[in-house]
Amino acid sequence: MHAPSSPAPAPTLSLQEQLRRGNLFAEACPSREVLQHVTSRWGVLILVALLDGTHRFSELRRKIGGVSEKMLAQTLQALESDGFVLRTSFPVVPPHVEYSLTPMGTEIAGQVQTLADWIEHNLSTILQTRAARAEA
């Protein structure tokens, strides 16, 4: 990144730059949608949870505190349709469904976990910042 003192920070990125990583800033770019699935409230937790390996629906529900069936199913579908999660259904009674990460899902889940780990690691600092701000 460029120094704070840069005098002429191109007001808009070059086209090349925008194509490389910037069309995220474009309102209509589909990447925003994918990003939303991945960074959604439950999406993050599901991805990290599945890094531990295959889980059944109810296992996930128990593991992820506070998630409802509806949101779990809904988020799993979104992640599945994006190709991050693999859903395997066994036609037995009672039904048995397993969820696991695809190779692509494993990659992104790793990134997400890195982010989550960072936050947990710095959580005390963050909370102190907030507290200090509240006093002032």
Sequence-separated (6 or more) residues with CB below 8 Å from residue 24: 31, 32, 35
Separation between Cα atoms, residue 60 and residue 69, nearest integer Å? 10
Q: Does residue 67 interact with DNA by CB under 7 A?
A: yes
Q: Does residue 20 interact with DNA by CB under 7 A?
A: no
8 binds, among its own copies, DNA, none (CB under 5 to 8 A by kind): none
- Angle at which helix 41-50 crosses helix 69-81, to 10 degrees, equals 70
Q: Does residue 74 interact with its own copies by CB under 8 A?
A: no
Q: Does residue 95 interact with DNA by CB under 7 A?
A: yes
Q: Which residue type is seen at 82? A: D
Using CB under 7 A, pick the residue from 19, 24, 97, 126 that binds DNA: 97
Using CB under 8 A, pick the residue from 14, 25, 95, 97 that binds its own copies: 25
